[in-house]
Amino acid sequence: ETGVTQSPTHLIKTRGQQVTLRCSSQSGHNTVSWYQQALGQGPQFIFQYYREEENGRGNFPPRFSGLQFPNYSSELNVNALELDDSALYLCASSPSTGGMKETQYFGPGTRLLVL
Amino acid sequence: RKEVEQDPGPFNVPEGATVAFNCTYSNSASQSFFWYRQDCRKEPKLLMSVYSSGNEDGRFTAQLNRASQYISLLIRDSKLSDSATYLCVVNYRNRDDKIIFGKGTRLHILP
């Protein structure tokens, strides 16, 4: 086990709704990254937070937003849900360097289904 | 050309055999390289980082070829428990740091 936890484990929403996913990073890690993994695909980088600031973003629209809290836990918010947002959402934490070169430790993910 | 490309497989390999797969990347500014392993319906887990000089961890060997822009993973004496999807991961920095996962190569070890 990596020590990275995510909640909820599963979620069902309808189109147009909003969702908040949560992640607690491994102890001692202050960098959190979020990924979207569709069925049969590799994880796609959404964004990374380092010390409560966004530190890099992938090709996702602004309706994907995030937060990092002083305890380094993080939230991913998705507004105006679309059917294609159905995926496994993975959170990964890494040690305190703020870059992407470090090993990432993944949580078990949240499976989101949008109907 | 996709930023990170992998043969999706599946590779069906008898137990005990040696198997190798490659991953190509398009951005020459790529800085860091990793292989992750993902079991069915589980999260990815780091298998090994890939260093310029190549590196070995037990039955696993990773190589980097910057000139041809690919990394490779070799698994010797394959075990049934090696069955998984192997994800190639590349980090590069232009204006922002980016980390790109390949789609993965599925490996089935046959008894």
How close, in Å, is residue A74 to chain B by CA atoms?
A: 18
CA angle (A64, A95, B40) in 5-degree steps? 65
User: B-chain residues within 8 Å CB-CB of A2?
Assistant: 43, 45
pLDDT tens digits for range B6-63:
999 999 999 999 999 999 998 877 778 999 999 998 999 999 999 888 899 999 999 9
Q: How near does any CA of chain A get to the CA of B34, in Å? A: 8
**% of residues, chain A, pLDDT over 90:** 69
Q: Tell me, yes or no, if A86 comes closer than 8 A to chain B by beta carbon.
A: no
φ and ψ at residue A82, rounded to 5 degrees: -115, 160
Q: According to the model, what pLDDT value does residue B91 have?
A: 85
Per-residue pLDDT tens over the stretch A61-113: 999 999 999 999 999 999 999 999 999 999 999 886 655 566 788 999 999 99
A59 touches chain B (CB under 8 A): no
- pLDDT per residue as tens digits for the range B47-100: 999 988 889 999 999 999 999 999 999 999 999 999 999 999 998 766 566 788
The share of chain B scoring above pLDDT 90, in percent, equals: 77
Query: What percent of chain B has pLDDT above 70?
Result: 95
Cβ separation A101–B32 shorter than 8 A: yes
Which of A12-16, A40-44, B94-98 has the highest average model confidence (pLDDT)?
A12-16
Residue located via tokens 């497989």: B9
- In one-letter notation, the amino acid at residue A23 is C
Query: B37 contacts in A (CB within 8 Å)?
Result: none
Q: Which chain B residues touch A103 with a CB distance below 8 Å?
A: 34, 46, 49
Q: Where residue A22 falls among pLDDT bands split at 50, 70, 90?
A: very high
Sequence-separated (6 or more) residues with CB below 8 Å from residue B75:
B18, B19, B20, B59, B60, B82, B107
Mutate to test the interface with B, among A103, A105, A110, A111 (most CBs of B within 10 A): A103
Residue among B32, B91, B97 with most chain A CBs within 10 A, to mutate: B97
Q: Mean of the per-residue pLDDT values for chain A?
A: 91
